[in-house]
Amino acid sequence: MPYVLPKSQTLCFKVVYYGPGRSGKTTNMERLHAETPEEARGKLLTLDTDEERTLFFDHFPALVGKLGGYRVKLHLYSVPGQSFYNNTRKALLQNVDGVVFVADSDPGREEANLTALQNLFENLRRLGHDPETLPIVFQWNKRDLPNATPIKTLEAMLNPDRRPSIATAAHLGKGVMETRNLVLRGMLKQVREHQEADRVVQTA
């Protein structure tokens, strides 16, 4: 669940972009930051590793407005894709509210996608998160490749439960904002369901 800043009346959601190396997580973050109005975003912060970067920024998505009188703020992170940075991945997943799994549509990357997804679920469980209830959006990236892996194949392998998914070409900016909106809707829906459950308990 998001944490609350009472003084500023802000609900803060943490979203992590997860996936194999070179799937497009960094590109998603850079395009999303570039397309967010300057007055509604923080600085794009970068932690460089030997092979990949971890990025972070926060922003106030205009489409939300207020939820129960509170502003909504997103803290967005991308994790390093290389497996030897797993401690960093786990640290970034702490207190996560939603995940975007960025799958690589490049042929031959099926095993890398599956390994990264299994690693995501394993790390979530170790941290006490339930992968079955956590809002997760699957992004089928690099759809502009002429020989991209069919979406049916990706869905069958990675998303048998038919969670929200979207086809994208992040380096062209296609589907980047829409992906963010999907995970945001999932998180807001979960908050509203908890609020409704609390009301039922209080009136019982």
**pLDDT mean across residues, the chain:** 89
Model confidence pLDDT, tens digit, residues 78-130: 998 777 789 989 999 999 999 999 999 999 999 999 999 999 999 999 999 99
Number of domains in the chain: 1
Strands, E, within the chain: which ranges?
Answer: 3-5, 10-18, 45-48, 53-59, 66-67, 70-78, 98-104, 136-141, 165-167
Give the pLDDT band (50/70/90) at residue 194. confident
Q: Give the distance, in angstroms, between the CA of residue 125 and the centroid of all CA atoms in the same chain.
A: 17
Under DSSP, the state recorded for 150 is P
What's the CATH code of the domain at 77?
3.40.50.300
Q: Is 36 left (phi over 0), alpha (psi -120 to 50) or beta?
A: beta
Give the pLDDT band (50/70/90) at residue 46. confident
Cα(118)–Cα(158) distance, rounded to whole angstroms? 9
Model confidence pLDDT, tens digit, residues 124-171: 999 999 999 999 999 999 999 999 999 999 999 999 999 999 999 999
Q: What is the pLDDT of residue 204?
A: 40
Domain residues for the domain of 132 are: 3-203
| Residue 12 in this model has a pLDDT that exceeds 50 | yes
Cα(87)–Cα(72) distance, rounded to whole angstroms? 29
